[in-house]
Amino acid sequence: MENIELFLKHYGYIAVFIGTFLEGELFLLVVGFFIKLNFLEPIKSLIFAMSGAFLHEIIYFLLGRWKGRQLLLKNAYTRKKYRKAKKIFEKYGILSIFIIRFWYGMRVVPMILMGATKFNIWKFAFFNLISLFIWAVIYLSLGYIFGKAAEEVFQEAKEYYFIVAG
């Protein structure tokens, strides 16, 4: 967590963009806490967070357009995630974007799948932005509300670690 804090303090909103491009949920929780501490502004944080995550997902969507089936069927791990994502996509259609958004660890495969199925890119972008907004607001809010408690838990755990480690 300290590395994320240093990264955020040093790079600010660019860090929010990069953090949500690379990771997502955990990073947004920390950003929410930084908003509470007045290191970052809520609206700018939301915009940069959504932008980073959107770029990440549109890249994988386009990658799916280009090499989708090859990537999805490449190994057992992606085949398993592909089957799960495909079931959700077939059952819920466009609403699957909202379902998968909150399914930790299922961020890449569904985007590739949607690109591979020739899903309309504008429809994808529209619904993806709506789901990103909801996702970012929820995680930023959780970080804002529970950030201090999490920091105290991490601090206490660190103290116990040093006591036990000697």
State yes or no: pLDDT of 1 exceeds 60: no
Looking at the structure of the chain, the number of domains it has is 1
**Residue 105, Cβ density class (10 Å: 0-12 exposed, 13-18 middle, ≥19 buried):** exposed
pLDDT in tens, 123-134: 999 999 999 999
**Are the beta carbons of 139 and 28 closer than 8 angstroms?**
yes
Kindly indicate the confidence band of residue 158, based on its pLDDT and cuts at 50, 70 and 90: low
- 80 is in which domain, residue-wise? 2-165
Kindly indicate the confidence band of residue 164, based on its pLDDT and cuts at 50, 70 and 90: very low
User: Which pair of tokens denotes residue 165?
Assistant: 């480690």
pLDDT of residue 91: 87
DSSP helix/strand/coil, 73? coil
State yes or no: pLDDT of 118 exceeds 80: no
pLDDT of residue 2: 64
pLDDT of residue 165: 47
Mean pLDDT across the chain: 83
**Residue 3, Cβ density class (10 Å: 0-12 exposed, 13-18 middle, ≥19 buried):** exposed
Kindly indicate the confidence band of residue 160, based on its pLDDT and cuts at 50, 70 and 90: low
Residue 43's identity, in one-letter code, is I
pLDDT in tens, 67-103: 877 777 777 777 777 787 788 888 888 888 888 888 7
Q: What is the pTM of this model?
A: 0.78
